[in-house]
Amino acid sequence: MRKLVLVILILLLMTANVWVIYNGELQAVSKNDKKIEFVVNENDTYSSIATKLKSNNLIRSELAYKVYLKLNPPKNYLLTGKYYVSESMTVAELIDVLTKEAKSTAETVKITFKEGKNMRQIAALIADKTDNTVDDVMNAQKNVEYLNSLISEYWFLTDDIKNKDIYYPLEGYLFPDTYEFLKEDSVETIFKKMLDQMSLKLENYKLEIENSSYSIHKLITLASIVELEGASSNDRAAVAGVFYNRLKSGWSLGSDVTTFYAEKMDNWSKGLTRAQLDACNAYNTRGTCVKGLPVGPICNPGMESLASVFEPLEHNNYYFVADCNGKTYLSKDASEHSKTINQLKASNMWCEN
């Protein structure tokens, strides 16, 4: 019994000694309170900067610092930028500076990507708000190794995005939302936040996606068409139902918005020529070369359009039109569709350009 008590006492003393040493390693390196500039680079984490902190004489022990992180996980992400710290700070004080001052030590920008914008428009926004250029945005998507890494990381990205006829591989997959970035963030960092958000949104519909007879690439392609074609409609699920009926019956989608995209036209007020409508292009569903869906998405659809494709309204109609209030009218054939349009015009409820 005495031996057991002695062993317990020794273990307690050893534990207490380790704890004292550990706490000592968390204390300030010196009393020197002169502030120095500490730079956090892109892809740095609280853990990975341990060596840099030690080499700058800002912590006593990398091990103690990392143990502290495990026991006290920081609440905020570590943002890139310049931080001003000193040797007189304890590990707890250093972490406090890196978390509380993160947003004030680096220039941040907010960018709102609206539903229905295509990659050209997104690239222009990124170039306007950050240190990147339009070419940076486009060139990132030409890097096959980078695309492969994204396909490995995100379940909804497939080899379909590498089709040679696709203009911009990530078109359709960058979720429209308001984001906060550092002005100096790379295109890859910006894409990651948008892809992470898309992953989060699609997770709720994973079962519907898995049970669909269409691939995820085709579903997002259809959602992008619904986004633009159904922009004036209050019932996108009904609009999606029309397109599904056309696909199932082997009809052409006959969508002008795919032709505008094929021609890389962002200004629709100019209209389309007969030559453009008839052009053979992997996107143009008005021409004779595309049977079914185009080769890829034509914009980045919002949640309403995505949901309408995952859970469409089932009906037997092949045409739709919306009035000035967004009310959607469905028709089974061209004759009925024309009649509806004439009625809307007669009642001054026809508002299409």
User: 109-198 domain in CATH 3.30.1490?
Assistant: yes
**Are 220 and 154 a contacting pair, CB within 8 Å?**
no
When comparing pLDDT for 348 and 222, which is higher?
Answer: 222
User: Can you tell me the mean pLDDT for 145-173?
Assistant: 97
pLDDT recorded at residue 277: 92
- Band (12; pLDDT cuts 50, 70, 90): very low
**Exposure letters 318-337 (e unless 16+ CB within 10 A, then b):** bbbbbbeeeebbbbeeeeeb
Backbone angles phi and psi of 178, in degrees to 5: -100, 125
Q: In the structure, what pLDDT confidence band is assigned to residue 5 with cuts at 50, 70 and 90?
A: very low
Q: Could you tell me if 45 and 78 are in contact, meaning their C-beta atoms sit under 8 angstroms apart?
A: yes
The SS3 call for residue 259 is helix
Q: How confident is the model at residue 20 (pLDDT cuts 50, 70, 90)?
A: low
Side-chain-side CA neighbours of 120 within 13 Å: the count stands at 9
- Mean pLDDT score, 111-135: 97
Please indicate whether residue 215 or residue 331 has the higher confidence score (pLDDT).
Answer: 215
* Three-state DSSP state, 104: coil
Local structure of 85: helix, strand or coil: strand
Same CATH fold assignment for domains 21-100 and 109-198: yes
Portion of the chain with pLDDT greater than 90, in percent: 60
| Res. 97: pLDDT tops 90 | no
pLDDT tens sequence across 56-78: 999 998 998 998 988 888 877 78
Instruction: Output the CA torsion sign for 258, 259, 265, 268.
Output: negative
Give pLDDT tens digits for 180-225.
988 888 999 999 999 999 999 999 999 999 999 999 999 999 999 9
Question: 31-56, pLDDT tens digit by residue?
Answer: 898 888 888 888 889 999 999 999 99
Report how far residue 230's alpha carbon sits from residue 313's, in angstroms, rounded to the nearest whole number.
Answer: 14
| pLDDT beyond 90 at 297 | yes
Q: Higher confidence at residue 5 or residue 163?
A: 163
**pLDDT tens readout for residues 223-279:** 999 999 988 888 999 999 999 999 999 999 999 999 999 999 998 888 899 999 999
CATH architecture of 21-100: 2-Layer Sandwich (3.30)
Provide, rounded to the nearest whole percent, the portion of the chain with pLDDT above 70: 92
Q: For position 7, what pLDDT does the model report?
A: 43
Domain residue extents for the chain: 21-100, 109-198, 206-346
> Across all residues in the chain, what is the average pLDDT?
89
